[in-house]
Amino acid sequence: QVQLVESGGGLVQAGGSLRLSCAASGRTFSNYAMGWFRQAPGKEREFVEAITWNGGSTYYADSAKGRFTISRDNAKNTVYLQMNSLKPEDTAVYYCAVHRWGNKWSLESEYDYWGQGTQVTVSS
């Protein structure tokens, strides 16, 4: 069992930045790849970025390319999502999750152990 707690969300103006954190406890964090997803009001949850267990590879959605960066600190059992140049369409609840199987990275079905989410609101 892994427990995940996201933090760092908030209200920011368009063009601003936020850094989200996801703190993990339970099973050995460094064994797992991790991902970030988001869900906007009235929309399905969508993949944002993922990172392998050692940070050696990252995967991202087109919407995040060039603006968002995922990273991790295994000593702190934490994965981060640095979000720059934020847009109103980035407004959503952001979730972190443990990647358990598969290699598509963007599929929710490949993830287990989800956090409760943190709200990000970008004003225009």
Contacts for 10 with CB less than 8 Å, ≥ 6 apart: 18, 119, 120, 121
pLDDT digits (tens, 9 = 90+) for 65-117: 999 999 999 999 999 999 999 999 999 999 999 999 989 999 999 999 999 99
Question: Residue 7: pLDDT above 90?
Answer: yes
What single letter denotes the amino acid at residue 75?
Answer: A
Question: Residue 27: pLDDT above 80?
Answer: no
Band of the pLDDT at 30, cuts 50, 70, 90?
A: confident
pLDDT digits (tens, 9 = 90+) for 36-74: 999 999 999 999 999 999 999 999 999 999 999 999 999
Band of the pLDDT at 16, cuts 50, 70, 90?
A: very high
Cβ-contact 84, 99 below 8 angstroms: no
Over residues 116-120, mean pLDDT: 98
